């Protein structure tokens, strides 16, 4: 009787106990967290009073301008609270009033969310006067005049009048018109250089994750084509950009030029710590007519919400990094709609993900069933394979492999069928890797001890940093690693080990994989870890049900014996493998005969 290499009833009980312990552990810390949040809420009120927003002193902005010369003006809507500085006539503060930023002190998203504040954005138009002196509008002092939702900023330079006309519109939009009069008497230039310096503010919990998502994004070819650049430099000198934006994990600041930016270039530099994540600099030219600068622009300070981005019809939806081609289609056409439909039932985000996992598993269940049936069949014929390996112990490895494949062929076992589930799940994994940290509907949604499913949970804090792991341990990542390890133990029992010397032990490699997975998941979105915890726990239950309820090893053995009696046609893959092995054997025999002749 062949020894059972799978999991017995005592192991089933152990697995059930482990799951209960994990769920109990999660509920315990959920209650603990609620008490901590009440205390933090009281501390937060005190902290907000202490950290009231201070007015920026003009002497800190430009030492050449007296403090009294700087004025501020405001435009407000339901979505945006904007402040403008008369120095440069530019937007100096942008608050998205419907969103909150993460507070490292309270470990909660309870701060006002500013995309622009404390001089992290600086822009202006640069040209030369007729003496060759470089003039930049960001250095000029403008006079503000408000009328309803429109603000006109006016500056004078050597008799020329420069107007910046801002109009606050719905949908996170700020219309921006530039008008000049008499500029032709000052300059002979036919184009102005738009220069924008922007430092990305840290708004989310996962710094490394948010930093990796911060980059240039832009459209060209009449809004039809989109590109992005997260590297050190960007260079699009041959294209006319319709808009250029600085993308963050969930928000973006974009300026659209109605007649486009030409000869565009930029660079970016990561900031390792502090309030900012990256420093980006952009430079592009806009046309001047008769040395007058009369151009229309639009600013967008917007959340990266897919329906909102699509509504602009400017290819903004490409800013969301949901994956290329089929991967992006899965997120846009399957995972996002499925999440929204289930969320309408009133469930919390964590349970929505739980049901999503079950639905995906049901869809993949026919493939999973075939995989586990194949595993059971391989287990039944394992004694015959061991017998062949024992008989051909001293034979050529190629001959052993041929004998093994002959057993598979006669039994009707197609080894390649076991690769199909893995191939199917690779695009799903990558799609979810893109989905969880970029789906704004999950932002700030907590579940158990994870306060934000788009960031890691750090319930277990370490007093030191571990390379590639950080200064914390994610409980969701640990739980996911444990179930992957259990699943690996259960599925690797029937794996045939390589007979050739020097070949690595595949079982050992498979056991190492879950451990390396911990390093990957520990700083990733906790929603992703929770999904794969549930997914692999379901895999384990499926194996147990198939093993003890659905599949009968005696029947499988009888089926295999019946298959052996029938003439079995070779499959294309099996035929190709046999032909390759035969050629390899002939080549080996030829090489040996040549060596004997030389002797």
Torsion angles phi and psi, residue 264, rounded to 5: -80, 140
The full 3-state SS of 394-425, as one line of letters, equals CCCHHHHHHHHHHHHHHHCCCHHHHHHHHHHH
CB count within 10 Å of CB 516 equals 11
Q: Do both 506 and 439 map to the same domain?
A: yes
Average pLDDT over residues 138-163: 91
Residues 306 and 358 in one domain: no
Q: What is the pTM of this model?
A: 0.73
In a domain, 580, yes or no: no
Q: What is the DSSP string of 531-562?
A: HHHHHHHHHHHHHHHIIIII--HHHHHHHHHH
Higher pLDDT, 327 or 586: 327
pLDDT at 263: 92
First vs last Cα of the chain: how many Å apart?
A: 51
Residue 47 predicted with pLDDT over 50: no
What is the average per-residue pLDDT within 176-192?
A: 90
Q: How confident is the model at residue 235 (pLDDT cuts 50, 70, 90)?
A: confident
Mean pLDDT for the stretch of residues 401-407: 68
Give the pLDDT confidence score for residue 2 in this predicted structure.
34
**Which range has highest mean pLDDT (27-31, 283-287, 449-453)?**
283-287
For the chain, what percent of residues have pLDDT higher than 70?
68
Span 260-289, mean pLDDT?
90
| Structural domain range at position 536 | 9-34+329-568
**pLDDT of 37:** 47
Tell whether 228 and 117 lie within a shared domain. Answer: yes
Regarding whether 343 and 378 lie in a shared domain, the answer is: yes
Residues 201 and 227 reside in one and the same domain = yes
User: Is residue 268 situated within a structural domain?
Assistant: yes
Q: Mean pLDDT: which of 88-97, 327-336, 386-395, 481-490 is highest?
A: 88-97
User: What is the CATH classification number for the domain harbouring 206?
Assistant: 2.70.98.90
What is the band of 260 on the pLDDT scale with cuts at 50, 70, 90? Answer: very high
Summarize the confidence of residues 407-426 as an average pLDDT: 64
394 lies in some domain? yes
The token duo for 466 is: 């571990």
Q: Is the pLDDT of residue 172 over 90?
A: yes
In this predicted structure, what is the pLDDT of residue 56? Answer: 32
pLDDT averaged over every residue in the chain: 77
For the segment 361-368, the average pLDDT, to the nearest whole number, is 79
Residue after which a domain boundary falls, among 291, 321, 351: 321
Tell me the pLDDT tens digit for each residue of 57-79: 333 334 445 555 688 999 999 99
Distance (Å, whole) CA 402 – CA 388: 10
| Residue % of the chain over a pLDDT of 90 | 30
Average pLDDT over residues 320-332: 84
Residue with tokens 């998941």: 521
**Structure confidence at residue 188 (pLDDT):** 84
Pair (436, 561) in one structural domain: yes
**What's the structural domain count of the chain?**
2
CB 400 within 8 A of CB 300: no
How high is the pLDDT of residue 9? 47
- Minimum mean pLDDT range among 75-89, 220-234, 341-355, 584-598: 584-598
Give the residue with greater pLDDT, 319 vs 30: 319
Lowest average pLDDT, out of 120-134, 161-175, 207-221, 479-493, goes to 479-493
Query: Cα(569)–Cα(407) distance, rounded to whole angstroms?
Result: 13
What was the pLDDT predicted at 279? 92
Assigned domain for 583 exists? no
- Whether 10 shows a pLDDT value over 50: the answer reads no
pLDDT, tens digit, for every residue of 240-255?
999 999 999 999 999 9
Q: Which tokens in the block code for residue 479?
A: 């739980």
Q: Which residue has the higher pLDDT, 493 or 489?
A: 489
Q: What pLDDT, on a 0 to 100 scale, did the predictor assign at position 154?
A: 93
Residue 420: inside a domain: yes
Q: Quick one: average pLDDT of 541-564?
A: 66
**Domain assignment present for 45:** no
316 and 334, same domain (yes or no): no
For 301, the token pair is 């300070």
Banded model confidence at residue 107, pLDDT cuts 50, 70, 90: confident
Mean pLDDT confidence for 145-156: 92
1 part of a folded domain: no
Same-domain pairing of 484 and 385: yes
Are 256 and 364 members of one domain? Answer: no
What are the beta bridge partners of residue 283?
Answer: 195, 265
| 340 and 308 inside one domain | no
Q: Is 596 a member of any domain?
A: no
Lowest mean pLDDT across 229-238, 333-342, 411-420: 411-420
Same domain, 105 and 25: no
Mean pLDDT for 15-40 is 48
Q: Can you give the pLDDT at residue 53?
A: 30
Strand partners, 254: 245, 300
Assign 179 to helix, strand or coil: strand
For the ranges 319-328, 373-382, 427-436, the lowest mean pLDDT is seen at 373-382
Residues 14 and 122 in one domain: no
């Amino acid at each position: 009787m062949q020894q059972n290499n799978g999991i017995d009833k005592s192991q089933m009980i152990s697995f059930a106990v482990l799951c209960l312990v994990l769920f109990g552990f999660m509920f315990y810390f959920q209650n603990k967290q609620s008490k901590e949040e009440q205390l933090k809420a009281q501390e937060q009120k005190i902290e907000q009073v202490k950290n009231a927003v201070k007015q920026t002193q003009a002497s800190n902005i430009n030492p050449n301008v007296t403090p009294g010369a700087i004025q501020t003006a405001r435009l407000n809507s339901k979505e945006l609270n904007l402040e403008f500085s008369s120095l440069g006539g530019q937007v100096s503060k942008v608050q998205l009033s419907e969103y909150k930023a993460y507070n490292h002190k309270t470990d909660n998203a309870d701060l006002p969310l500013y995309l622009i504040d404390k001089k992290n954005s600086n822009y202006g138009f640069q040209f030369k006067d007729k003496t060759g002196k470089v003039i930049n509008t960001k250095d000029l002092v403008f006079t503000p005049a408000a009328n309803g939702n429109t603000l006109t900023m006016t500056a004078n330079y050597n008799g020329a009048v420069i107007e910046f006309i801002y109009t606050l519109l719905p949908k996170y939009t700020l219309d921006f018109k530039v008008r000049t009069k008499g500029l032709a008497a000052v300059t002979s230039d036919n184009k102005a250089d738009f220069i924008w310096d922007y430092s990305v503010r840290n708004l989310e919990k996962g710094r490394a994750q948010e930093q990796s998502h911060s980059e240039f994004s832009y459209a060209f070819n009449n809004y039809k084509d989109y590109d992005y650049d997260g590297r050190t430099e960007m260079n699009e000198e041959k294209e006319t950009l319709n808009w250029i934006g600085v993308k963050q994990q969930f928000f973006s600041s974009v300026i659209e030029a109605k007649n486009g930016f030409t000869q565009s270039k930029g660079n970016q530099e990561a900031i390792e710590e502090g309030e900012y994540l990256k420093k980006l600099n952009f430079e592009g030219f806009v046309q001047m007519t008769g040395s007058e600068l009369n151009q229309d622009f639009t600013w967008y300070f917007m959340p990266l919400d897919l329906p909102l981005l699509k509504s602009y019809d400017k290819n903004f939806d490409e800013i969301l990094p949901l994956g290329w081609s089929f991967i992006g289609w899965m997120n846009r056409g399957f995972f996002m709609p499925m999440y929204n439909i289930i969320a309408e039932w009133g469930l919390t985000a964590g349970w929505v993900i739980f049901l999503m996992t079950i639905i995906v598993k049901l869809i993949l269940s026919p493939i999973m069933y075939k995989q586990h049936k194949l595993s059971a069949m391989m287990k039944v014929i394992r004694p015959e394979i061991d017998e062949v390996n024992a008989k051909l112990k001293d034979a050529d490895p190629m001959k052993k492999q041929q004998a093994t494949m002959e057993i598979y062929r006669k039994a009707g076992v197609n080894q390649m069928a076991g690769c199909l589930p893995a191939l199917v799940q690779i695009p799903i994994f990558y799609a979810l890797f893109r989905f969880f940290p970029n789906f704004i509907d999950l932002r700030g949604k907590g579940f158990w001890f994870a306060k934000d499913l788009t960031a890691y949970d750090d319930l277990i804090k370490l007093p030191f940093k571990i390379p590639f792991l950080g200064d914390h341990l994610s409980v969701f990542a640990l739980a996911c690693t444990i179930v992957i390890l259990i699943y690996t133990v259960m599925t690797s029992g029937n794996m045939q080990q390589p007979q050739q010397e020097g070949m690595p032990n595949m079982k050992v490699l498979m056991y190492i994989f879950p451990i390396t997975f911990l390093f990957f998941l520990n700083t990733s979105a906790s929603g992703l870890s929770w999904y794969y915890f549930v997914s692999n726990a379901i895999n384990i239950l499926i194996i147990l049900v198939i093993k003890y309820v659905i599949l009968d090893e005696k029947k499988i053995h009888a089926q295999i014996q019946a298959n052996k009696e029938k003439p079995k046609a070779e499959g294309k893959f099996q035929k190709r493998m046999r032909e390759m092995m035969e050629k390899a054997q002939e080549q080996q025999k030829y090489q040996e005969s040549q060596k004997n002749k030389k002797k």
